[in-house]
Chain A
Amino acid sequence: MNQPLLEVENLRFRFRGQEQDVVQDVSFRLGRNETLCIVGESGCGKSVTALALMGLLPQDSVQFGAGRIRFDGETFAPGDHDRIAKMRGDRMAMIFQEPMTSLNPAFRIGDQIAEAVERHRNCGHAAARARALEMLGKVGIPAPEQRFDAYPHQLSGGMRQRVMIAMALANDPELLIADEPTTALDVTVQAQILELIAELQAETGMGTIMITHDLGVVAEIATNVAVMYAGQVVEYGSARSIFENPQHPYTIGLMASVPSLTGPRRRLSTVPGVVPAIGQMPEGCRFSSRCPFAAPVCAARPDLAEQDPGHRVACHFAPLEQTLERSA
């Protein structure tokens, strides 16, 4: 395997004044042209992980532990805000969940994109505008030279998300972090946006981290999947191995709670309970409070151990088949 674009090792941080880590020992790697999907339910630390990578968490309220980030051959600490700030918007970009509120209502969309270009490229205003216009065309906005002068409120949600994408990709970033970019959109528009991101990725070869809780999206676009629960990666592997052979009880629970279009109709299964709040996390395996297989051994924290090549699971009972056979 060639040199990955982004390697995150043991990312760990907590908010000041809290007893427990918000995100604990998150590690993953992402190659060029690859898509890593981070999945998990609300409140499991997906978005906060992305914000930490982008250096967007309020500096004075976050304490980073050890751990490091290697981005395009450069290694730095996750709390190295100055270093990250230089790359932010230029070599790494982010799109957010809410296209409706993510654009400045007081400015024309074209100018907003041009501003992002001007900030990072040593180019004049005219060149920045030309680039903005080019990007508007690229993200499939009809009549870009007219839309250039539109205000955000004149555009639909899907259009605005396209503008956000244009803004994020205007500087040809190597890494794109998309935080639930389609959650707020209609299903048909969702598909278009995902397709657009995939197209642009194929064109530029950027690495993409997609945060989502939609497993349909994951199946569609992911190269690798990291399943997060309560700030920990509980299962990590290629999309194929995760879907075909999910090992962690939480992953299995997530998969089971997706409605199926075929097969008999039955009550949708759910994972009981909610993610515990910080400070009320169980010791050891954080999922043990909701896990059907929980046993005394779960009071010790399981390692994220390799089950199959490239497929890692943090569960004492993995592989589950054997456990089930033994107990049967």
Chain B
Amino acid sequence: MMAQPATPATLKPQLMTDPVLQKRPENRVWKKFRSHRSAMLGGLLVGLFVLMAVFAPILPIPDPTATDWGAVRQAPSAAHWLGTDEIGRDVLSRLVWGAQASLLAGVISVGIAVAFGVPMGILAGYFGGWTDGIISRCTEALLAVPFLILAIALAAFLGPSLTNAMIAIGLSATPVFVRLTRGQVISVKAEDFVEGAHAIGLSTPKILSRYIFPNILPPVLVQATLTIATAIIAEASLSFLGLGQQPPAPSWGSMLNTAKNFLSQAPWMAMWPGIAIFLVVLGFNLLGDGLRDALDPREH
């Protein structure tokens, strides 16, 4: 803390132990989140996959692209815990490395959607008029096309690669964020404190960045978490269709794609990536729900 101007010394002692001041506001959200069991489970699942993705290079697992023609489509064993695939690659290793592609795709594509959608939504909501008209009509046009179809079309247009898949998914998810942000901004800008900000003479960029943006953040955060789950499924779908991660790099979607040809002979090839997708999507959904409850101002 900085140097203090003179204040009545007599007022100080009584409030040193003021419980209200001791309590940090972050704690309240965190506390609520912690007591939310399914949210914690979601966080645990997501955390597990994140650890897997981050530590993939140093885990004691074989190279995910190393083939072994002596061990093709082997059932789970001590040597290959989750079995091997059609050209003898270790499924566990590919699963762990695939987590990288999935999480990256989920986070980056949602990042793209937020980076485009939120500023557009703020402009539309705050300025209204023809700005809003143009942005909203474009958004509605994009929303009219089903999410996955749009992503497939974009990915096909951009060419098959993980990067392009992320861009495609990100752009397809943008309209949701535009709409959400716009609605939030319209309600926040009618608040008294925004008028107060005008009254102290703050500039529009300052009002947008300091008064509007922080107050629309919680719902955007929740939506982003839930959208990561959708984006992971979308990435798996695109990879399954051959429009995402390209072989031989591992991805859950492409693992499923090859596995579908060997369902009767080697069901584990399909089972493990399927379970992984299920768990990580479940994790993000639970996490998002938990965040929504913890950040809901009405329940404070």
Contact = CB atoms under 8 A, between A and B. Distances in A.
Interface of A: 54, 56, 85-86, 88-90, 93-94, 96, 98, 101-107, 115-116, 119-120, 126, 129-130, 133-134, 137, 142-147, 149-151, 153-154, 164, 167-168
Interface stretch (B14-22, B70-78, B115-123, B154-162): B14-22
B7 A144 contact: yes
B1 A145 contact: yes
A133 B199 contact: no
B2 interface: yes
A267 to B, nearest CB: 36
Contacts of A164: 196
Contacts of B197: 104
A90 B7 CA distance: 24
B15 A93 contact: no
Contacts of B200: 88-89, 93, 115-116, 119, 167-168
B21 A137 contact: no
Which of A126, A130, A142, A164 neighbours the largest number of chain B CB atoms within 10 Å of its CB? A142
Given A126-B2, A130-B3, A133-B5, A142 B11 contact: yes
Contacts of B199: 54, 56, 88-89, 93-94, 96, 168
B7 A96 contact: no
Contacts of A144: 7
Which of B193, B198, B202 neighbours the largest number of chain A CB atoms within 10 Å of its CB? B193
Nearest to A111: B210
B215 A106 contact: yes
Interface of B: 1-8, 11-12, 14-16, 18, 20-21, 23, 25, 191-193, 195-203, 206, 210-211, 214-215, 217, 300
A104 B16 contact: no
Contacts of A153: 25, 300
A133 B14 contact: no
A104 B14 contact: no
B202 A137 contact: no
Contacts of A115: 200, 202, 206, 210
A134 B211 CA distance: 24
Nearest to B191: A101
Given A106-B210, A106-B217, 18 more contacts: A56-B199, A86-B201, A88-B199, A89-B200, A96-B192, A102-B192, A102-B193, A104-B211, A107-B214, A115-B200, A116-B201, A119-B200, A130-B2, A142-B11, A142-B15, A151-B25, A154-B23, A167-B196
Contact of A98 (B16, B21, B192): B192
B201 A143 contact: no
A285 B155 CA distance: 70
20 contacts: A56-B199, A90-B201, A98-B192, A102-B192, A104-B211, A106-B217, A133-B7, A137-B6, A137-B7, A142-B15, A143-B11, A143-B14, A143-B18, A145-B7, A146-B15, A146-B21, A150-B21, A151-B25, A153-B25, A154-B23
A96 B210 contact: no
A323 to B, nearest CB: 43
Nearest to B1: A145
B154 to A, nearest CB: 35
B188 to A, nearest CB: 10
A137 B15 contact: no
Nearest to A87: B201
A164 B196 CA distance: 9
A137 B214 contact: no
A119 B207 CA distance: 12
A316 B265 CA distance: 103
B300 to A, nearest CB: 8
